[in-house]
Amino acid sequence: MHFKTDPPAVKRGPYGRPCGRCSLCGRTLLRGEQGWYLNGRSACADCFPAFARAELADCEIVFGTEEEA
């Protein structure tokens, strides 16, 4: 008699299934996990500050220096 068993590394359930990969750190993004996706790139929560900074780089200014140019 044969029993169908899953490998120990594979976890079942609504949370935990790999759904992608963070474009910045390469970490596996899991189902149910919060993250950000923009312009074909994904970011995990840990990488969000760097991700947002890169995506909004065109909007970056240094306040107070416009008149000194």
Residues contributing to the site for Zn ion (CB under 5 A): 22, 24-25, 27, 44, 47
Hey, which residues does 29 pair with through a beta bridge?
20
Q: How far is the CB of 15 from Zn ion (least distance, A)?
A: 18
DSSP secondary structure string for all residues of 26-48: -PEEETT--EEEETTEEEEGGGH
Query: Nearest 5 degrees, angle CA 33-CA 13-CA 16?
Result: 35
Q: How far is the CB of 4 from Zn ion (least distance, A)?
A: 35
Residue with Cβ nearer Zn ion (16 or 27): 27
Q: How far is the CB of 19 from Zn ion (least distance, A)?
A: 14
